[in-house]
Amino acid sequence: MKSKKFSPIEFRREVMLSRILKRDSSGHFAEAAIPLEFRSDPLTGRSCRIVPFTLERIIRPDLAALEKRSRELTCPFCPPLVEQITPHFPPDLIPEGTIRRGKAVAFPNAGPYDVYGVVVVISDRHFIPLSDFDLETVHNALLAAQSYLKSVLKADPEAKYNFMAWNYMPPSGGSLVHPHLQSNAGYRPTTYQKQILEASEKYFREKGTNYWSDLLEQERRTGERYIGNIGNTHWLTSFAPRGRLSDTLVIFPGKASITELTEDDLRDFSAGLLKVFSYLDELNLVSFNMSTYSGFDKDQFWAHARITPRGLLLYSPIETSDQFYYQIFQDENICILPPEVACERLKKWF
């Protein structure tokens, strides 16, 4: 198939108004129209609703109290327990039993979510605030996670569906305060993995171009959501976010899989993550989810990653999650921080 250089992408959105009667300062009712924006992901068609809201609802948890409470419990990731009680890999997979990069140590997940699963303890420090992460610490953790995935592919090429993921702090679903990330690999893609792989293949068949290349080119041209690049990593916000506070999307041009990234690529990825951490810290956010996505053919698919903030909202007597029935039961995201606004806030850190 003859490939075109670029195919324009359609970003579909529709603004509708919700009418209410709202009390004015004198207590009388006056009509008000609240704008709602409906967007569709240009690759998958997945819908998202943009409902701008004040960021003043974001609260910073008392991290000192959280750290103190967490230290009162036994932490299996702190020395010396991390050496004494964590499992080891079978010798035919990882002869050394564990993977070590700097202070990062990787071992099998005792409660795996797939045939192959690893936990990477990022540091020997029990608690690292977002503002305290450094390049070497993050880079070593990603190298350890990638090293595991490479070993799995070498030992079992059929376990080709893989990703690296990071739940940081309790609001993200992280079970321990001690910083750690995970890698998983197996024979079946996740639902979303399958969706984007099939949609990317279909896009290539119909247009003769790589969707991720077209997306990057178009976003760079318009600048609405393109943040910048660090080496061969390109950073932008997602047009139709999957998170309530917008997503940061990282594209790795010319690489089909996260296992193909060089050490320099992972270092650039780590440097960008530190900048995102600074942005989150500025917004009083202390938590995030991150996941990478891999394919098999660089003509059709480019490896990429998503980072979405996680936070707690104000006006509640108890800590209130940012996930609710729309995401959980309707499978539709409500985003309260427009991607274009998030992009402008992120740009100053790049």
The band of 78, judged by pLDDT with boundaries at 50, 70 and 90, is: very high
pLDDT tens track for 188-239? 999 999 999 999 999 999 999 999 999 999 999 999 999 999 999 999 999 9
Strands (DSSP E) found in the chain: 12-23, 29-40, 47-50, 58-59, 99-101, 104-108, 116-121, 161-168, 180-186, 226-230, 233-237, 248-251, 287-293, 304-310, 312-313, 333-335
Tokens of 220: 């760079």
CA distance 225 to 142: 26
The mean pLDDT of 279-291, rounded to a whole number, is 94
Using alpha carbons, select from 286, 275, 292 the residue that is nearest to residue 310. Answer: 286
pLDDT greater than 80 at residue 140: yes
pLDDT score recorded for residue 316: 55
CA distance 240 to 247: 9
CA distance 228 to 111: 38
CA distance 35 to 129: 36
The mean pLDDT of 46-65, rounded to a whole number, is 82
CA distance 168 to 195: 26
pLDDT score recorded for residue 58: 75
The radius of gyration of the chain's CA atoms, rounded to the nearest angstrom, is 21
Using alpha carbons, select from 218, 233, 237 the residue that is nearest to residue 346. Answer: 237
pLDDT tens track for 87-137? 999 999 999 999 999 999 999 999 999 999 999 999 999 999 999 999 999
Q: Mean pLDDT for the chain?
A: 93
Q: Is 59 exposed, middle or buried (0-12, 13-18, 19+ CB in 10 A)?
A: middle
Q: Are 172 and 287 in contact (CB under 8 A)?
A: yes
